[in-house]
Amino acid sequence: MVTAKVWALKKHFEGLPKTGDFVLKMIELPKLKEGELLLESVFLSIDPYMRLYSQKDMKEGDIMPGTQVARTVESKNPAFTVGTFVVANSGWRTHFISDGKGLQLLPPTWPESLPRSLALGAVGMPGLTAYFGLLEVCKMKPGETVLVNAAAGAVGSLVGQIAKILDCKVVGCAGSDPKVAYLKKLGFDEAFNYKTATSLDEALSKASPDGYDCFFDNVGGEFSSVAINHMKKYGRIAVCGAISQYNDSVPQKGPYIQVPMILKELQMEGFIVYRWDNRKEEDLKVLLKWIVEGKLKYHEQVTEGFENMPAAFIGMLKGENLGKAVVKV
């Protein structure tokens, strides 16, 4: 008999989540039936959407949602032999049983030298988010200027690098000086600390006096209201995330965006990466190739221990992560 540890939502978050809002539970797993397999989480992903979904889709007592890289430890399903690694969407659990549906095998070409946790980051959902957001939503073209915020995070750091690979000028901002130094190391043309800049308006003008063709927005709120005034005519804005608003109990108020949208004839489109699920495999291969060639660099903020899932999640919301936040069980 296997006992799984799981983290559940004890109490709905108010503002920034607290460790006391989570509860660790033990669940005895039944014996496998024909067609089933038992999986053990190796790496679990820590993502901002968990905060957003908690208030929209969860009730107290529900297991926290999320994806993991997991190893098959027992199998009565011929498609998954013992030792096979998969990406699963089974929430904050150490062990779980699956009938195989929805499990995604790691690409057979996965190099031994790369950590499998990258399947939750640069060669996973965040990588695809950066790729499709830039190419399909921003419709970025070589020679254009791209602005990205939360730029030292999982998605943002890839947005900037992909834009550089495709011959654009890139401006990024992040919330600490070490993060800004990291962006420069990654090859961003301009980078600044939005927390210490005396004026966001001035920092955006200085970084690109001619304005921005594309804005990959991970943050929303006040940052977006200021940035929109720096768009070039016919600029495109990909609304990827609004992390500055996820902890709000009371919705933020204006300034409102309609006037600059009209005068600059902007396009602004929200998106969810799963729109391009049918192209996922093909584009994961591109991301993996760029990583192997050294064109795309990655950094992971690895927290050790399943018991530290809540701390890693809270830390990410506070900006403590550089690159992709993951937990190693």
Q: Which is nearer to ligand NDP, 31 or 318 (CB)?
A: 318
Q: Which is nearer to ligand NDP, 4 or 160 (CB)?
A: 160
Q: What separation in angstroms does the CA of 99 have from each of 5, 48, 73, 201, 272?
A: 20, 28, 14, 53, 26
User: At 58, is the secondary structure helix, strand, or coil?
Assistant: coil
Nearest approach, Cβ of 46 to ligand NDP (angstroms)? Answer: 8
Nearest approach, Cβ of 3 to ligand NDP (angstroms)? Answer: 30
Q: Which is nearer to ligand NDP, 42 or 155 (CB)?
A: 155
Residue 59: phi and psi, rounded to 5, are: -115, 160
Q: Token match 């584009």: residue?
A: 283
Q: Which helix (H) or strand (E) holds 316?
A: helix 309-317
Cβ neighbours for 264, distance < 8 A, ≥ 6 positions apart: 231, 232, 233, 234, 235
Q: Which is nearer to ligand NDP, 88 or 154 (CB)?
A: 154
Per-residue tokens: 55: 């208030």
Nearest approach, Cβ of 281 to ligand NDP (angstroms)? Answer: 17
Nearest approach, Cβ of 315 to ligand NDP (angstroms)? Answer: 9
Are 208 and 278 in contact, with CB atoms under 8 Å apart?
no
Residue 318: phi and psi, rounded to 5, are: -85, 0
**C-alpha to C-alpha distance for 101 and 199, rounded to whole angstroms:** 50
Q: Which among 310, 287, 309, 306 has a CA at the least distance from the CA of 298?
A: 287
Q: Which is nearer to ligand NDP, 75 or 303 (CB)?
A: 303
The 8 Å CB, 24+ separation contacts for 268-271 are 268/236, 268/237, 268/239, 269/137, 269/236, 269/237, 269/238, 269/239, 270/239, 271/132, 271/133, 271/136, 271/137, 271/238, 271/239, 271/240
Q: Which is nearer to ligand NDP, 55 or 84 (CB)?
A: 55
Residues of the shown chain interacting with ligand NDP in the complex, contacts defined by CB under 6 A:
47-49, 126, 129, 150, 152-156, 174-176, 179, 218-219, 240-244, 271-273, 316-317, 319, 321, 325
Nearest approach, Cβ of 28 to ligand NDP (angstroms)? Answer: 33
Q: Which is nearer to ligand NDP, 52 or 97 (CB)?
A: 52
Nearest approach, Cβ of 219 to ligand NDP (angstroms)? Answer: 4
Nearest approach, Cβ of 129 to ligand NDP (angstroms)? Answer: 4
